[in-house]
């Protein structure tokens, strides 16, 4: 059984965390900007973020904490507030967000709050050396790791060894697929503590996942831990799947395990996985309520189950 979490508005890309026993959801806030759909994602023209929270994902009341950050309040803003995530450290909450600067280049920014529901005060500049989209922050012991990247309109193919390249090209066929990035965060949570490195994703035969593999990385990194193992999950974009791979540490390598969810209604698929009160949940979005309008997405939740070997049972993206 699935639940639409917030039918009152269009929201997408839910990052989800439990802070002080309560579930907090950090979504993108979709709107109709009357921009034609293209492979660059120009139709995703979001301008602000809201925070939602609840004490029961499947049945509880969903509180909308209102607007917590607006594009007009971000000093380096160009446009397009895409996916975000939040991490807590020493009683402060750090919102990591994707946004284009005034030259149309995506970077990752940070905004800070005293409470999980914000409001969040943006830093004057993006994270030094950051690029592309879809940050996910994962705490492991005393360290925090940021995973990021997205191809096509997310611009990840523009970079090699963390530098912008001339004439960027996407790999094809049996060439190794573009990989997501990972970096440990600085102690103050505001910068990378090290240059981002490639996150190696291997297929069932321990070979690097290649471009023509339908399970290739596209965007929407998420990391969670289950029974001592690290589960990295992602969206395959143009093949519309949510997939996951397992590793032994936050840097990987990660070996492909399977499909978390089959395609939903709508082009994009993007998720988070969270444990609350002993149950696991998948949060994602689809476009059923907007009758398939791909830039007007609705938040959804369902339970997520593992088998005895720790494999995630595949969820049908179309089923209600």
- Strands 2-4 and 298-303, sheet pairing: antiparallel
**Does the protein bind ligand FUB through residue 221 (CB under 6 A)?**
no
Contact yes or no for 71/78 (Cβ under 8 A): no
**Does the protein bind ligand FUB through residue 84 (CB under 6 A)?**
no
**Does the protein bind ligand FUB through residue 13 (CB under 6 A)?**
yes
Q: How far apart are CA 16 and CA 179, in angstroms?
A: 23
**Does the protein bind ligand FUB through residue 85 (CB under 6 A)?**
no
- Strands 254-261 and 201-202, sheet pairing: parallel
**Does the protein bind ligand FUB through residue 233 (CB under 6 A)?**
no
Backbone angles phi, psi at 214, to 5 degrees: -65, -10
Q: How far apart are CA 320 and CA 270, in angstroms?
A: 17
Decide: helix, strand or coil at residue 64: strand
Catalytic residue (one of 13, 83, 88, 213): 13
Nearest-approach distance from CB 268 to ligand FUB, in angstroms: 4
**Catalytic: 125?**
no
**One of 219, 264, 283, 315 touching ligand FUB (CB under 6 A):** 219
Count of other CB atoms within 10 angstroms of residue 228? 7
Decide: helix, strand or coil at residue 152: helix
DSSP string over 258-278: EEEE---SSS---EEEEEETT
**Does the protein bind ligand FUB through residue 93 (CB under 6 A)?**
no
Nearest-approach distance from CB 297 to ligand FUB, in angstroms: 8
Site for ligand FUB, residues 152 to 181, rule: CB under 6 A = none
- Total residues binding ligand FUB (CB under 6 A): 14
Nearest-approach distance from CB 222 to ligand FUB, in angstroms: 10
**Does the protein bind ligand FUB through residue 16 (CB under 6 A)?**
no
Q: Which is nearer to ligand FUB, 88 or 219 (CB)?
A: 219
**CA torsion 285→288→293→298, rounded to 10°?**
-30
| Burial class of residue 21 (count of CB atoms within 10 Å of its CB; 0-12, 13-18, 19+) | exposed
**One of 270, 271, 276, 284 touching ligand FUB (CB under 6 A):** 270
List strands edge to edge, sheet with 271-276. Answer: 2-4, 298-303, 279-286, 271-276
**One of 220, 241, 243, 274 touching ligand FUB (CB under 6 A):** 220
Site for ligand FUB, residues 273 to 312, rule: CB under 6 A = none
What DSSP character marks residue 171? -
**One of 5, 12, 51, 99 touching ligand FUB (CB under 6 A):** 12
Nearest-approach distance from CB 81 to ligand FUB, in angstroms: 9
**Catalytic: 88?**
no
What DSSP character marks residue 154? G
**Does the protein bind ligand FUB through residue 117 (CB under 6 A)?**
no
Catalytic residue (one of 85, 88, 117, 219): 219
**One of 133, 146, 185, 282 touching ligand FUB (CB under 6 A):** 133
**One of 6, 24, 26, 44 touching ligand FUB (CB under 6 A):** 44
Nearest-approach distance from CB 174 to ligand FUB, in angstroms: 26
Q: Which is nearer to ligand FUB, 12 or 255 (CB)?
A: 12
Q: How far apart are CA 295 and CA 38, in angstroms?
A: 11
119 preceded by cis ω (within 30°)?
A: yes
Helices (H) and strands (E) in the chain, counts: 0, 23
Residues forming beta bridges with residue 292, ordered by sequence position = none
**Does the protein bind ligand FUB through residue 28 (CB under 6 A)?**
yes
Binding site residues, ligand FUB, CB under 6 A: 12-13, 28, 44, 82-83, 98, 133-134, 150, 219-220, 268, 270
Which residues are the active-site residues? 13, 219
């Amino acid at each position: 059984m699935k639940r639409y979490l917030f039918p009152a508005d269009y929201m997408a890309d839910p990052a989800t965390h439990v802070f002080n026993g309560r579930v907090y959801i950090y979504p993108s806030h979709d709107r109709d900007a009357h921009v034609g759909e293209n492979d660059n994602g120009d139709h995703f023209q979001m301008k602000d973020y809201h925070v939602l929270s609840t004490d029961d994902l499947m049945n509880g009341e969903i509180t909308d904490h209102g607007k917590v950050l607006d594009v007009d309040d971000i000093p380096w803003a160009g446009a397009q507030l895409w996916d975000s995530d939040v991490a807590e450290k020493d009683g402060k909450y750090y919102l990591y967000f994707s946004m284009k600067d005034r030259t149309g280049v995506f970077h990752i920014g940070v905004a800070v709050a005293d409470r999980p529901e914000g409001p969040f005060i943006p830093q004057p500049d993006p994270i030094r050396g950051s690029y592309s989209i879809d940050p996910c922050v994962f705490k492991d012991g005393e360290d925090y790791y940021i995973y990021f990247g997205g191809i096509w309109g997310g611009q990840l193919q523009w970079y090699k060894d963390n530098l912008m390249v001339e004439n960027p090209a996407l790999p094809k066929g049996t060439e190794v697929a573009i990989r997501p990035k990972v970096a440990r965060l600085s102690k103050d949570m505001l910068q990378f503590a090290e240059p981002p490195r490639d996150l190696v994703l291997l297929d069932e035969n321990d070979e690097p996942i290649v471009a023509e593999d339908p399970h290739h990385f596209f965007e929407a990194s998420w990391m969670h831990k289950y029974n001592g193992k690290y589960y990295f999950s992602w969206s395959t974009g143009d093949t519309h799947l949510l997939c996951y791979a397992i590793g032994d540490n936050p840097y990987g390598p990660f070996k492909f395990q399977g499909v978390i969810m089959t395609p939903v209604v709508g082009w994009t698929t993007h998720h988070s996985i969270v444990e609350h009160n002993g149950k696991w949940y998948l949060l994602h979005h689809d476009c059923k309520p907007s009758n398939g309008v791909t830039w007007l997405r609705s938040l959804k939740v369902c339970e997520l189950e593992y088998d005895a070997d720790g494999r995630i049972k595949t969820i049908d993206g179309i089923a209600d």
